[in-house]
Amino acid sequence: MERIRERLRKLKHSREPLSPPPLPCLPDERPRPLTAAPCAPAATANSLFFQRVPPEIRRRILVAAFGDRTLHLDVRLEHPLRKTRASGKHGINSRPPRHANVQLFQHDLRDSKQPREWTWWSSVCHRTFPSWNYYLPPPGCWRFEDPANDTCRRASGGAVHYCESYPGTMPSKCFIGILPWLLACRQAYIEGIDVLYATNRLHIAHAGILINLPRLLTPDRLHMIRDVELLWSLCLSPSGADREWTTGVEEDRFRDVNDRLVLLSHIPRALPNLQYLHLSLTDAKWAWKPILDLCGQELYDATETILRCIDTMVLVQLVQLRECRISLPTTLYMTRKQMEKNEDIIWARKATNELEALWRTIDLTATSTQPPAERRNNIEGYWILHGEQEMENPMITEVW
């Protein structure tokens, strides 16, 4: 009888959910430096590439090979893959190819009996066609180019037909492919790592990743980052992705809208040399559910509170910023346009049209401190774009 009780007790504990493992953070004390020291000229004396090709030409080659792209930087808590990879109806081999092998994150391919673990995932962003991928002039942000409309991370929603428009073979074309170059030699690493972080635009899907970014990357890497597009949930939505990421990771700091606005101060702390920022706010329907039905002055004032926090961050804290775009969900953007211009959203669009946008000039008197004059010369305002689509208008028309 005692053996049966002991087995039942072990079975009960085995079914209890395990606490999530800690983030894969950098150790406080490292056995060796992660940043390679500059190598002596004699180290590359026999290399024709480093001896005969001038540094500026080498950099242009590396930028063409590994730079000027939008890259996903993501870490997620997932169960490990099943060990038996059958090719039957529910096996991995039977799944249609998706962007960057993202179909491997489908739940039925994961072993739920095993504890979850943090998994790094990165890829080139293929949410748009090559000619529309990035760096459009303001306010140019194509509807599917907004960070909130990205589908690269979805296990069943990656746009394969967009991937096919890029040169190369799948799934290798969906990855940056810089690791072999970084491992070639020390000089290749030094030149390649700068191109990787300084010339690419990073897509970060969760506020929690950015807040913990100083624990995941070295300060040298953080100072290299220039361009970022960031999804920022205004609350912990019941739907889940942001809640799942923050499970067991300082979850108390992610509660309500005010806390989320305070956490905006982590952006300049983590990325001090940021020059381009596209901040897409999401989950407004869960953040202000009691007042969303009013859609009047209350909602406009709530949006203005958010924008004033962003004004202070852009004008005072992000000293190097040159361009900023803020995407608002449909509810917030539509209310703001109605209050400011007495106009509704223009739902009909053409393939050559730019997305809905409003210009906001930063009010210097609204900031808490008066910044120096040289800081005010960098940026005087930013574009407010129509971002996450919380509702679909039945009158939407596609004009091609």
pLDDT at 34: 66
What is the C-alpha separation between 226 and 198, in angstroms, rounded? 6
Whole-angstrom Cα distance, residue 227 to residue 232?
Answer: 16
State the residue range of the domain holding 374.
50-77+116-391
The per-residue pLDDT for 114 is 84
- What pLDDT, in 10s, does the model give residues 202-244? 999 888 888 889 989 999 999 999 999 999 887 754 444 444 4
What CA–CA distance (Å, rounded) separates 228 from 270? 11
In a domain, 36, yes or no: no
Instruction: Flag whether 105 is in a domain.
Output: no
Residue 397 falls within a domain, yes or no?
no
Q: Is position 1 within any domain?
A: no
Q: pLDDT tens across 36-54, in order? A: 677 777 777 788 888 889 9
Asked if 307 and 261 touch (Cβ cutoff 8 Å), the reply is no
How confident is the model over 72-89, as a mean pLDDT?
75
Q: Is residue 82 part of a domain?
A: no
Which of 329, 387, 326 is CA-nearest to residue 355?
387
Asked if the structure places residue 154 within a domain, the reply is yes
Q: What is the number of structural domains in the chain?
A: 1
Distance CA(164)–CA(299), nearest Å, equals: 42
pLDDT value of position 139: 46
The verdict on residue 108 lying in a domain is no
d(CA 315, CA 363): 10
Round to whole Å and give the CA distance between 328 and 333: 5
Residue 95: inside a domain: no
Helix (H) or strand (E) holding 202: strand 201-204
Q: Write out pLDDT tens, residues 255-291.
A: 456 666 777 888 999 999 999 999 999 877 666 555 5
